[in-house]
A and B are shown apart, each in its own frame.
Chain A
Amino acid sequence: MSLELLFQYLVAGLTYGTIYAVVGVGFNIIYNTTGIINFAQGEFVMLGGMTAVTLHRVLPLPLAIAGAVLATMAAGAVVEVTCIRWLRKPSVLRMIIITIGVSIVIRELALVTWGESVRALPYFTGDEVTSLSVGGVHVSPQVLWSLGACVLIVGFLWFFFQHTSVGRQMRACAANRDAAALCGIATRNLVTLSFVLSAGIGALAGCVVSPITYTAYNVGTGLAIKGFTVAILGGLGSSMGAVGAGFLVGVLESFSVSMLPAAYKDAISVAVLLAILFLRPSGLFGSREAARLRAA
């Protein structure tokens, strides 16, 4: 394999890695405040991309994306308020089943609304043939947009969790929910906020990568499995870990395509998931409990 081809695979892997990383981070935000794994996480990404495509028919691109992100955040809030907020100490099994139900309902609503067709936003700058030359290799500017969005999201979350009052409250909630409640923190509202946040970042990522990866009503489940793989690989609860793991899985997948039939691409990441679960469930980057306390 030539060095140039190697680099192309790397870039493709990083692009997909962006979205896996963001879904993984989304899992972490909700997991940290609630201890729930939200199986509908991938659906937020899909909703963001699809809504933006629809809004873009009447609105300019930046407004369409902003609208899609807001709409998806609202959807996240609705899911939390109707299906999670009022349950008292639900069992893990119950939460798994409810969030799976939510993901199916969102997906089927998307199918009814948008049909089966595959959609994409236009490229943000230039078009599909525009490319920047980076060290003799051609890279679509959209790849830089995706990486930039990922950096922006992680940077925003870091600032939010470290330097704002609400962010600190969420970390307190993650460390010990009962103690946080005793300190006067409205933990229930923070849970809603965690759903809104993770829906928002998922939607943004869904918009940014959609010109390259495309989006359809049924991409959510696959993204959820991969995002979960990434979240576990990076150590559940650790956002930085998830980002690193996201790029790792993306690149691994991209190189697997060069060696195996494309149909096995999805099987690769699942195999990684199973291997990690069996061999090192605390993730590659440190212990789970420590990661959970760090929160972001």
Chain B
Amino acid sequence: MVRKVLRSRYARVAVFIAVVAVVQLATRLAGKEFFLTQLTMAAYYTLVAAGLSLLMGYAGQISLGHAAFFAIGGYASGYLTTVDLSARKADALVAALARLHVLVPRTDLYGGEALSFHPWAAFVVAVVAALAVSFVIGVPVLKLKGHYLAMATLGFGTIVYSVLLASERLGAADGIGSVPPFPLLGGLSVGGGRAIRVANYYVAWGVVAAALLVLTNLVHSRVGRALRAIHGAEDAAASMGVDVARYKLRTFVLSAVLAAIGGAFLTHFNAGIGPGEAGVMKSVRYVAIVAVGGMGSLWGTIATSGVLSFLSLRGYFGTLDDAVFGGVLILVMLFSPEGVLRFDARGALAALRGRSSREVAE
């Protein structure tokens, strides 16, 4: 009975929230509350990994371009909340938006008056932008399989990266800075600063918990079963009446939107974003996190993402940061392709032994 309750997905979310709280208390007791900054950032990266886990683990589609969606979300939020439209106040559209409070006045870096988009409006645009781009890219790309899909998504990622790097308007190599905080309900806001550090930590992981609830419900629904069928055998699923193309596309779009939300929040939290967030290496990292966590294991992905992102952000891997992710990727895929949580020591040993005996036979 107790086991059954613990296995229910709501109980798991509750346990998750409890772990989040314990971690916060632990940092306070250890006097290392500054860890919370990196833990908060890790939460937003976890959002990308969670979406990608659904796409890779359940729908069986790889994406080497998810950092691009993260960047699209971040750049949309960052750009719209820092762009100054006060010079174009006379425009009918600008005036109308200002009257609707979509555009709000703020003081810029030099104390002048600037007219920019409200963070909420920018957030909506960011989500819609990711939705639109992932839809337009997803329709043709998801027709591809295997290597073709991997290369096409990698190519998409590099295009976004080089466009961001080449756009003066988006700050080129420097990216966008001085992004204002994102006011949520009741005086809470997503942004830097010691005073709101603990609150921000809970907001970030709360967003992850909400996403988890949505994703686990999805996985346990008709949609989830359809996705697993697609992963198992696409043709068989199609013959049973599963609309394969539509399910793949929806999963792709959902994971892209989650990535964009992560990007938008992190941009407000860090008060800026740079083109590095769209880089190929970032996309590979998300894939690595999903691979280590176990494809199709949302909880494994969340745990790995929290730990690996935090360690990486704190700089524990030093200059070997990317190498660690690459090495972990190889080791996990060689010895435990189902993820480290399902490491099969006997199977790995047998594979190694199988090699030696087979070589003797040859």
Contact = CB atoms under 8 A, between A and B. Distances in A.
Interface of A: 37, 39, 83, 85-88, 90-94, 96-98, 100-105, 107-109, 111-112, 186, 188-189, 221-222, 225, 228-229, 232, 261, 263-264, 266-267, 270-271, 273-274, 277-278, 281
Interface stretch (B88-96, B99-107, B148-156, B174-182): B148-156
B337 interface: yes
B278 to A, nearest CB: 13
A87 B334 contact: yes
Contacts of B351: 86-88
Interface string B50-79: 000000100010101000000000000000
Instruction: Please report whether the interface of chain A is mostly helix, strand, loop or mixed according to DSSP.
Output: helix
B334 A37 contact: no
Contacts of B151: 37, 225, 228, 232, 273, 277
B281 interface: yes
Contacts of A188: 362
B166 A263 contact: yes
B280 A221 contact: yes
A229 B147 CA distance: 12
Given A93-B60, A108-B323, A281-B148, A98 B140 contact: no
B322 A108 contact: yes
B342 interface: no
Contact of B329 (A104, A266, A270): A104
Nearest to B150: A96
A274 B155 contact: yes
Nearest to B284: A100
B155 A270 contact: yes
Contact of B158 (A83, A103, A108, A270): A270
Interface residues of B, number: 48
Which of B60, B145, B150, B362 has the most A CB atoms < 10 Å from its CB?
A: B150
B26 interface: no
B327 A105 contact: yes
Nearest to A92: B146
B355 A86 contact: yes
Instruction: Please report whether the interface of chain B is mostly helix, strand, loop or mixed according to DSSP.
Output: helix
A271 B159 contact: yes
20 contacts: A83-B334, A91-B337, A97-B287, A98-B330, A100-B287, A100-B326, A101-B328, A101-B329, A101-B330, A104-B325, A111-B319, A112-B320, A188-B362, A228-B147, A229-B155, A232-B148, A263-B162, A263-B166, A267-B162, A278-B143
B65 to A, nearest CB: 11
B48 to A, nearest CB: 17
Contacts of A85: 355
A222 B323 CA distance: 18
A91 B351 CA distance: 15
Nearest to A221: B280
B280 A101 contact: no
Nearest to A38: B147
B144 interface: yes
B140 A104 contact: no
Nearest to B327: A105
Interface string B323-351: 10111111001100100000000000001
A220 to B, nearest CB: 11
Which 8 interchain pairs have the tightest Cβ spacing? A104-B326, A263-B166, A108-B323, A86-B355, A101-B329, A101-B330, A270-B155, A37-B147
A2 to B, nearest CB: 27
Given A266-B162, A273-B155, A104 B146 contact: no
B125 interface: no
Given A267-B159, A270-B155, A104 B352 contact: no
Given A37-B147, A83-B334, A93-B146, A100 B329 contact: yes
Given A101-B326, A277-B151, 4 more contacts: A37-B150, A100-B64, A108-B320, A112-B320
